[in-house]
């Protein structure tokens, strides 16, 4: 992401340095300019700190992937719970089970008032949220799952 | 306005430069973290196939797993193993890890293994 460095005015910095050397007092014009610069600096520092916090959270915190149309996955083994199915999926895709920290199924309930086409979408869209160790593990898992789904399911299952 | 003047009056050129340094430091940190996000932590292992194993027909990947097994390293800590052998650097393998901490532990263990077994042709680049 490009950063705005317009507010870092080199001429002004030099002017301040000159003032320091000659022990001159700041004029009101200089003061106003200085206030603008300080505000701009603090705003920029705040923005950069927010961005850094976000990036650090990506590295340090566990990451979640979403598998859409999870019920469409047909595996070799007959499984009852979604957790067993998830374990089987990772086993078949050669992904270590230790990379999973937690998982959660978000099954849409069929609502009688929902329109027919919506019902169809809801029935098909069982979503599983899988919490993985970290960002790198997430990237590798997505890569391996995509490869597995592309070869076996012809892009019927989506990961995000 | 008066409070603003107070700030301006109190700001010295030293403080002004401090702001600039702080911004530069933050930008550098962001670049470092972005680099960390781009590539997983890795080590480069040189001279892998110089190790003598009981199984003479091991390929390069099996050699790595033979070493990892000997060092009692959990294979699930490893994200990927890439053969980076080229003309200038034969038997060069890159091992990517799930976390930086795992990288440190594994490199320490392999270094101990190299020292213990006097494998002078093998070494690790961090």
Helical spans, DSSP H, in A61-115: 82-92
Contact by Cβ (8 Å): A49, A66: no
Residue A79 to chain B, least CA–CA distance (Å): 24
The domain of A135 spans: 62-159
Take residue B47 and report the two structure tokens written for it.
């001279």
Confidence of residue A46 (pLDDT cuts 50, 70, 90): very high
Task: Verify that A101 and A131 share a domain, yes or no.
Answer: yes
A16 plus A69 within the same structural domain: no
Could you say which DSSP state residue B60 is in? H
Indicate the number of domains in chain A: 2
pLDDT (tens digit per residue) in B89-109: 667 888 998 888 888 998 898
> What are the pLDDT digits (tens) for A87-136?
888 888 888 888 888 888 876 555 444 444 444 444 545 888 899 988 88
Q: Residue A30: inside a domain, yes or no?
A: yes
Are both A55 and A66 inside the same structural domain? Answer: no
**Is residue A52 located within the same domain as residue A70?**
no
| Cα–Cα nearest to A82, from A116, A106, A105 | A105
R_g over Cα of chain B:
24
**Best B3, B13, B61 residue to mutate vs chain A (most A CBs within 10 Å):** B13
**Of the candidates A50, A43, A130, which has an alpha carbon nearest to the alpha carbon of residue B19?**
A43
Residue A83 counted as domain residue? yes
Q: What is the mean pLDDT of chain A?
A: 73
Distances in whole angstroms, Cα of residue B89 to Cα of each of A73, B44, B93, B100 = 44, 11, 10, 25
Same domain, A116 and A134: yes
Measured CB to CB, residues of chain A less than 8 Å from chain B are 3, 8, 13, 16-17, 19-20, 26, 31-32, 34-35, 37-38, 41-42, 44-45, 48-49, 51-52, 55-56, 58-59, 96, 98-99, 133-137, 139-140
Its ipTM equals 0.71
Whether A5 is in a domain gets the answer no
pTM equals 0.69
Across B8-110, where does the E strand assignment appear?
A: 42-46, 78-83, 92-97
Band of pLDDT at residue B13, cut at 50, 70 and 90: low
The residue among B106, B118, B115, B116 whose CA lies nearest residue B44 is B106
Domain containing residue A142: CATH number: 3.30.70
Residue, of A49 and B63, whose pLDDT is higher = A49
A77 and A151 assigned to the same domain: yes
Q: What is the pLDDT of residue A157?
A: 61
pLDDT exceeds cutoff 70 at A82: yes
- Predicted pLDDT of residue B25: 93
Report yes or no on A1 lying in a domain. no
Q: A15 to each of A21, A115, B6, B20, B21, how far by Cα in Å?
A: 10, 70, 20, 15, 18
Do A68 and A124 fall into the same domain?
yes
Boundary residue ending a domain (A44, A59, A74): A59
pLDDT at B4 over 80: no
DSSP bridge pairs for B92: B46
Band of pLDDT at residue A68, cut at 50, 70 and 90: confident
Contact A136 B40 (CB under 8 A): yes
B107 neighbors B101 (Cβ within 8 angstroms): no
Report yes or no on A3 lying in a domain. no
Q: Which residues contact A3 (CB under 8 A, 6 or more apart)?
A: A44, A48, B27
- Structural domain includes residue A4: no
- pLDDT tens digits, one per residue of B57-84: 667 777 788 888 888 888 888 888 888 8
Question: Helix, strand, coil shares of chain B as percentages rounded to 5?
Answer: 55, 15, 30
């Amino acid at each position: 992401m490009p950063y705005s460095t317009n507010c870092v005015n080199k001429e002004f910095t030099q002017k301040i340095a000159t003032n320091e050397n000659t022990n001159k007092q700041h004029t009101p014009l200089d003061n106003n300019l200085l206030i603008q610069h300080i505000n701009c600096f603090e705003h920029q520092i705040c923005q950069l700190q927010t961005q850094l916090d976000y990036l650090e959270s990506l590295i340090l915190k566990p990451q979640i992937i979403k598998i859409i149309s999870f019920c469409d996955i047909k595996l070799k083994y007959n499984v009852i719970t979604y957790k067993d199915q998830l374990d089987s999926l990772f086993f078949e895709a050669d992904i270590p089970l230790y990379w999973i920290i937690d998982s959660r199924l978000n099954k849409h309930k069929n609502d009688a008032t929902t329109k027919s086409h919506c019902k169809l979408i809801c029935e098909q869209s069982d979503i599983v949220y899988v919490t993985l160790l970290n960002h790198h593990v997430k990237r590798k898992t997505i890569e391996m799952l995509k490869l597995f789904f592309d070869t076996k399911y012809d892009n019927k299952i989506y990961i995000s | 306005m008066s409070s603003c003047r107070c700030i301006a009056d109190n700001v010295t050129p030293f403080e002004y430069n401090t702001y600039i340094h702080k911004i530069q430091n933050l930008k550098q940190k962001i670049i470092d973290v972005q680099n960390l996000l781009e590539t997983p932590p890795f080590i480069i292992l040189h001279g892998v196939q110089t190790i003598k194993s009981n199984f003479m027909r091991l390929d390069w990947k099996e050699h790595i797993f033979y070493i990892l097994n000997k060092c009692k390293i959990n294979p699930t800590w490893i994200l990927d193993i890439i053969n980076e052998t080229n003309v200038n650097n034969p038997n060069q393998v890159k091992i990517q890890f799930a976390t930086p901490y795992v990288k440190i532990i594994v490199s320490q263990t392999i270094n101990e293994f190299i020292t213990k077994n006097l494998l002078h042709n093998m070494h690790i680049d961090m």
